[in-house]
Amino acid sequence: NVLVFLAWRLSGEEYLEWMAANFLVSWAHLQDSRFWTLLTSVFSHNMFWHLLINMLVLKNFGPILEKVLGKKSFFNFYISAGIISSFCHAAVSAWILNQPQLPALGASGAISGLVLLFAFIFPKEKILILGIIPMPALVGALVFVGIDIWGLIGQAEGGGLPIGHAAHLGGAMMGIFYYYVYLRPRLVREI
């Protein structure tokens, strides 16, 4: 993540087009067979605050989930959540927002998957929203899902902020799916 951020920051004009072609995901890129952007965009940030927030959330939730899932399963989940979130952004941009060229980048979708998975495993665990507001993990995660649904509706109506709500929701869906289809049945068998 940091290396790709530095590549965005230190690239001259002649390389920015290459970075955009290879580290941004969009439906147009997928139509051009740039399928690798489903993954490379997950490690791509071009704004410091975007990178910082994603890495802080990863640092806080990642080690806990890695202990629960194991290193390999954690890695596979994170990558899968990232790819699914990238695809959701691209598909929603093309089919709902009618903007197939709309690019996205960032780990936020994969991070959203981690937060939802954590919230379903530890629903009553206290988390701090915005670093200051304590609430149960499941409530906090569902608040963010609600905000993303609201934001996506706003975008579909022609407004909204330039935030990848569809990517966040795709990652969240992956977290919920993974919990109910894979992890919960395994945990029940172990009890």
Active site residues: 108, 168
Beta bridge partners of 43: none
In Å, what is the CA distance from 52 to each residue of 48, 74, 88, 159?
6, 21, 23, 26
Contacts for 129 with CB less than 8 Å, ≥ 6 apart: 135, 140, 143
- Would you state the structure tokens that stand for residue 46, as one six-digit string? 């071009």
Q: How far is it, in rounded angstroms, from Cα 41 to Cα 191?
A: 39
- Cβ–Cβ contacts within 10 Å for residue 38, how many? 19
Directed axis angle between helix 137-156 and helix 165-177, to 10°?
A: 140
Q: What is the dihedral of CA 37, 42, 45, 50, to 10 degrees?
A: 150
